[in-house]
Each structure stands twice: as structure tokens, then as C-alpha cells.
Amino acid sequence: MATQYDIPVGAQHISLLEPLHFKFTTENEKIIKTEANVGYVHRGIEQACCSKFKFRQVSFVVGRVCGLCSISHTTCYSQVAEKLMQLDISKKAKYLRMLVIELDRIHSHLLCLSHVAENSGFEALFMKTMAYREFSMEMLEAVCGNRIQYDFSIVGGVTRDLRTDVAKMVLEKLKIFKPQLDELVDIYSNNYTLGLKNKGVGVINKDDVYTLSAVGPFARAAGIPIDVRNETEDILPWKEVGFEVVTETTGDVYARNLVRLKELYVSMRIIENVINGLPEGELAVDFKGFPTGEAINRLEAPRGELFYYAKGNKTQILERLKIKAPTFSNVAAMVHGFSGNEYASAPAIIGSYDPCLSCTSR
């Protein structure tokens, strides 16, 4: 038997963007066992939401759970609170929520892709992807007022309308981005040396996804068409604005790249359809009363299924708020996905997992 070595990676490491610790047990450069520790940044946000903040303020608090997907958190919370309050929001507010969610997905997916490129040793591709991503940040700033942590969704609707000049600018920028995305798809799909780094690496197959309850692009890259946008038409009308599930089959880093890239085309189509078909209506409904009973809500964040559970007690303060982030669901599959791979491939695999520990630890 070859000598086994334990190699710690993280909580702070050059290939990790997040405070996450892996302990790899390796044998002849191959990873044979992985242990994970995710508990470095627990901030007590759930407890704060149930003790220090009124339920109307909580949508602003959960927006701070994560800088990357704050619109997912604020919208998912707003939806679960609207269920507790039995509120029916306007179609316009639903459309505007979908607009920002998809703009957010574009910037998040491009961030992930850029880091896969960087962790695979492709610095120039990292910079190119990040440069192309900039348009989505500018669009988010124009629509929401902030580049990140946009307090856009609130209980009952949204905070800002879409100005005509901003809508026109978004559509023009999408036209510029389309050939840039085509170029990225070509590079990530066909570059020979990037393929050597990404194909057949970090494989999570269909059975693994089922067994380990993985979600998001992680699961879709293995061929499982799990996407909350496909399942919650009653909450946000995704299919009305052109949503389609994207899947690949090989379940490796390469497939995860392709799923994210192809989802950008879907996001662009949704954004165009939302802007061109934006209905008239109020931004937010006025309501009185306090939340009561319990409710759950799911929403497809860039990394997969986001889940909120809320329990009200007829006061301003919630009895319990539970947040389950997509990365949390993927921890078991992440640990499994390293086995059998070369240690040198670990950074690219981690990048393709797109882990978000501020969401996971909360």
C-alpha cells in the first residue's frame, strides 16, 4: 500500500474563495477520502431575524446573507412572508423580481466560470470572463441602485420601478453581450487544453445526485432536470417568459461549465421577455397585520434550490426563520466528488462547485 498523506486545504487558500476547509487524504496524488468543515462564518442571522428585527425588516437582513445572490434571499423570504400574510402581489412585481433574479444569475454564473478558468490555470480566460461579466453588474446597479446586496424585493412587492431609459439600456447591453457569450461558449467548449483540465474531472453522476440530494447546475450537469423555476409557476410565471431547463450528461467540471453558459442564454431570453412584456400594476401591495402560521418557499438561486421556512406568532417578530442555501444541499455531493481525482485537479473542481459559504453558514 502506498503512503497516505493528509493535505489540508482552507479555510484560507489561494484556490478557495470562501472560508471552507477540506482535508484530502491522498495516495499517489489521488484523493481517496475527503472531509469538509463549513462552520467558520456563522453569523446568527436566523436568530437575529427572530429576535432583533420586525418581519418587514427581515427582507433587508437576509439580503446580507450573501452578496452574490442577495436577490434570491430577499425574494425567497418575501415570498414566504407573503404566504404567511396571504398576500397576492401584482404581476408587475413578479416580472421585476424575475428580471433581477436573472441579471443576478448572469453575474453569478460568470463569476463561477471565471474562477474555474483561473483554478484551471487559465488566467487570461479568467480576466476575459470577468471583463464580460461587468455589464451585468452595471445593469444591476442601474435597475436596483446597487451592484450587490440590492434591497429590491420586499414583503408585498418590490422597491423600485424599471425606468424606460434603463430598460432600453439593458436591452442594448444584452445585444452587445450576446457575441461575447458566444465567444465564451466556444472557448469553454472547444479549447483543447482547458478540456484536458475539465473533462472527466470531478464527476458527479446521476446516481450520486439522486443519492446525495444535490441541486442546481451541479445536478443538471449530471442530467437531472431539477430546477425550482420549473416547479413553482404559481409563484413566479417562469415559463411565460421563456424559461427552459438546461441539462448536460457527463456530470464533470466541463458539463457544469456548459450548463452555466447555456443558462445564460435562457436568462437573456427571460430578461428580454420581461422587459418587452412588463405589465402595468403597483410595485407593492399595502397590507396590515402580523404573520401567523407556518409556510415554506423554494426559489432557484444561481447555485440551486434556496429554501425558507417561516413561522409567525401574530407579532411583529417571527417565531422561527430557517434558511437552507443551495451549497448546503451540495456539501455531501461535493465531498463525494473529489474521490478518485488527482489532487492537482482539486482547485478546478472546487471552482466548478461554486460554493457559497456565507450562504451556507449564515
Partner 1 sequence: MTRIETSFETLKNDVAAFYKVDKHHFITMNGVDLGNDEIEYQWFFCDYDYPCAETMFVTKANADVLVPSIGEVVASAWVAEAELADLMGVDIENADKGFMLEVDSDEAPLRKKKK
Nearest one of 171, 163, 149 to 59, comparing CA atoms? 149
- Please report whether residue 320 would count as binding partner 1 according to CB under 8 A: yes
Cell of 352: 466548478
By CB under 8 A, tell whether 73 contacts partner 1.
no
Distances in whole angstroms, Cα of residue 101 to Cα of each of 70, 104, 332:
9, 5, 26
Q: Does 76 bind partner 1 (CB under 8 A)?
A: no
CA distance 67 to 87: 27
Buried b (16+ CB within 10 A) or exposed e, 99-122: bbbbbbbbbbbbbbbbbbbbbbeb
Query: From CA 160, how far away is CA 193, in angstroms rounded?
Result: 45
- List the one residue from 109, 115, 298, 303 that touches partner 1 (CB under 8 A): 298
Radius of gyration of the chain (CA): 20
Binding mask 242-281 for partner 1 (x = CB under 8 A): ----------------------------------------
Angle 188-193-195 from CA coordinates, rounded to 5°: 50
* C-beta of residue 185 within 8 angstroms of C-beta of residue 210: no
Among residues 32, 40, 173, 237, the one that binds partner 1 under rule CB under 8 A: 40
Min dist CB 324 to partner 1, Å, is: 4
User: Is 82 near partner 1 (CB under 8 A)?
Assistant: no
- Nearest alpha carbon to residue 66 among 18, 14, 112, 135: 18
Beta carbon nearer to partner 1, 170 or 221: 221
Q: What distance in Å separates the CA atoms of residue 103 and residue 177, rounded to the nearest whole number? A: 12
Q: Which is nearer to partner 1, 254 or 308 (CB)?
A: 308
Q: Should residue 309 be labelled a site residue for partner 1 when binding is judged by CB under 8 A? A: yes
Q: Which three cell numbers stand for residue 128?
A: 476575459
CA distance 113 to 183: 13
Nearest approach in angstroms of CB 310 to partner 1 is 11
Residue whose CB is less far from partner 1, 194 or 224:
224
Size of the site for partner 1 (CB under 8 A): 36
Task: Please say whether the beta carbons of 270 and 88 come within 8 A.
Answer: no
226 binding partner 1? (CB under 8 A): yes
Please say which residue, 185 or 331, places its beta carbon nearer to partner 1. Answer: 331
Q: Does 6 bind partner 1 (CB under 8 A)?
A: no
Smallest gap from residue 297 Cβ to partner 1 (A): 10
Per-residue contact track with partner 1, 329 to 358, x per CB under 8 A? Answer: x-xxx-------------------------
324 binds partner 1 (CB under 8 A): yes
Which residue number, 71 or 215, has a Cβ lying nearer to partner 1? 215
Segment contacting partner 1 (CB under 8 A): 44-52, 84-92, 130-138, 263-271?
Answer: 44-52
Q: How far apart are CA 204 and CA 283, in angstroms?
A: 42
Q: CB of residue 226 vs partner 1: minimum separation in angstroms?
A: 6
Per the document, the length of the chain is 362
Nearer to partner 1, 61 or 111 (CB): 61
Bridge partners, 321 (sequence order): 310
Least Å distance, CB 45 to partner 1, is 10
Considering beta carbons, is residue 38 or 117 the nearer one to partner 1? 38
Which segments of 120-202 does DSSP mark as H helices, in order?
Answer: 123-144, 164-190, 192-198
According to CB under 8 A, which residues from 47 to 66 bind partner 1? Answer: 47
Q: List residues near partner 1 by CB under 8 A.
A: 37-40, 42, 44, 46-47, 210-215, 224, 226, 230-233, 296, 298, 305, 307, 309, 311, 319-320, 322, 324, 328-329, 331-333, 361
